[in-house]
Amino acid sequence: MLYESTDNDLKLKAANELKLVVHWASSEENATNSYQQNAPSWVIFGNDFHHLHRLSSETKSALLFHGSGTGIKNASLSPGLANFDIRFVSGPGRMKLFSELYPSVKLYQVGFAKLDPLRNTNSLKFDLEKLGLDKHKKTLLYSPTFYPSSIGNMHKHFPEEFKNYNILIKAHDFTLNKAKYKHQLAKLKSWSKYDNVYFADGEQYSLIPFMATADLMVTDTSSAIFEFASLDKPVVICDFPRLRWTYRGPLKFRLRKRLDNSTLHFQDVAARASSYKQLKSVVDFHIQHPNALSETRMKYSNDIMGNMDGKASNRIVEILLNHA
């Protein structure tokens, strides 16, 4: 079931690539009516759903939140996510947290399904020359989230100052498609004019090939921190997001509320740049010393991401079939 929106064509493209049959819904109410009429054995949700109590008694619900339960936003801890029949969780760290928060929910630790393709094939990397980039240069992936984001505090000549690197830019879907973030998009598009930059448009919805190709990731408050770190490659966090005035000064508690404090200590998997001026030296160091944080990356990645054997999806399917 897919919800109708401005990016219907992109959703349909993704579904066709995966050979999925698509049913469209205009709203949660419309989706609920469909679930009631068809009474499927399982409905697997990726987010909160406010009409679980209206599902048929023949239908069970499962939650696969944000690719199995990671994330650094408080959305993953919403009490509403405790209402599903079962919830899939990535690693033992998240399993312990959710068990304490929601003892009545049936939890299954399965690993991180989103990254299964990276373990099962070596053909996901981009051909840098086909992207117009230099195959002899190291490649950075700049993957900022939409809010709180570092884009606003990045220098307008960022690609020029990092001219010794290829730069892949993979923005959040909200940055690409919501008018609210048009200033972010304008800045990213201005960078795409540089020879050492490849800017991904909305049709390239998967972060996987970008992670497979890059030597280092530059990001901010994105859960991709843990995804990339689990590949044992260096991550640099831009610790200088552009905050709205409603998140500053005495209202800074809103930022803390938005982020999931339970994952803060896990962010030791990444290096930090406290300002844009510091970013270049931090990136240079970790490109030259990619194993500097390797031990910490793998320790915390195992705790958050769980088993990375490429079979998380298989475990999810087996659990659903056995439950049925």
71 or 55, higher pLDDT: 55
The pLDDT assigned to 256 comes to 52
248 or 8, higher pLDDT: 8
Are 267 and 237 in contact by the 8 Å Cβ rule? The answer is yes
Check whether residue 11 and residue 106 sit in a common domain. yes
Distance CA 51, CA 49 (A): 6
**E-state strands within the chain:** 2-3, 24-25, 42-45, 60-63, 86-89, 106-109, 138-142, 165-169, 197-199, 216-219, 235-238, 271-273
Q: Which two tokens stand for residue 315?
A: 């475990």
Which range, 1-10, 89-98, 126-135, 242-251, has the best average confidence (pLDDT)? 126-135
Check whether residue 18 and residue 66 sit in a common domain. yes
pLDDT band at 131 (very low <50, low <70, confident <90, very high): very high
The pLDDT assigned to 323 comes to 85
Check whether residue 203 and residue 78 sit in a common domain. no
**E-state strands within 112-191:** 138-142, 165-169
Please count the structural domains in the chain. Answer: 2
The pLDDT assigned to 67 comes to 53
Check whether residue 80 and residue 165 sit in a common domain. no
Domain span including residue 77: 2-114+309-323
Check whether residue 79 and residue 169 sit in a common domain. no
Check whether residue 146 and residue 257 sit in a common domain. yes
Distance CA 195, CA 166 (A): 9
Q: Evaluate if residue 224 carries a pLDDT over 50.
A: yes
Distance CA 305, CA 67 (A): 10
Q: Evaluate if residue 316 carries a pLDDT over 60.
A: yes
Check whether residue 293 and residue 150 sit in a common domain. yes
242 DSSP 8-state letter: B
The pLDDT assigned to 56 comes to 92
CB atoms within 10 A of CB 22: 12
Check whether residue 100 and residue 246 sit in a common domain. no
Q: Evaluate if residue 254 carries a pLDDT over 60.
A: no
- Tell me what percent of the residues of the chain surpass a pLDDT of 70: 89
Check whether residue 85 and residue 164 sit in a common domain. no
Q: Evaluate if residue 251 carries a pLDDT over 70.
A: no
Q: Evaluate if residue 188 carries a pLDDT over 80.
A: yes
Of the ranges 6-20, 57-71, 308-322, which one carries the lowest mean pLDDT score? 57-71
* 136-172 as b/e: b if 16+ CB within 10 A: eebbbbbbbbbbbbbbbebeeebbeebeebbbbbbbb
> Letter for the amino acid at 134?
D
Are 202 and 182 in contact by the 8 Å Cβ rule? The answer is no
Residue 300's domain is classified under what CATH number?
3.40.50.2000
The CA–CA distances, whole Å, from 12 to 6, 16, 28, 176 equal 12, 6, 19, 18
Average pLDDT, integer, range 158-168:
98
The pLDDT assigned to 260 comes to 46
The pLDDT assigned to 147 comes to 81
263 or 130, higher pLDDT: 130
Are 225 and 270 in contact by the 8 Å Cβ rule? The answer is yes
Check whether residue 46 and residue 25 sit in a common domain. yes
Residue 265: strand, helix, or coil: helix
pLDDT band at 231 (very low <50, low <70, confident <90, very high): very high
Distance CA 98, CA 77 (A): 8
pLDDT band at 173 (very low <50, low <70, confident <90, very high): confident
Q: Evaluate if residue 245 carries a pLDDT over 50.
A: no
Check whether residue 172 and residue 146 sit in a common domain. yes
The pLDDT assigned to 47 comes to 86
pLDDT band at 318 (very low <50, low <70, confident <90, very high): very high
Average pLDDT, integer, range 50-76:
78
Check whether residue 46 and residue 161 sit in a common domain. no
pLDDT tens string 21-32: 989 999 999 999
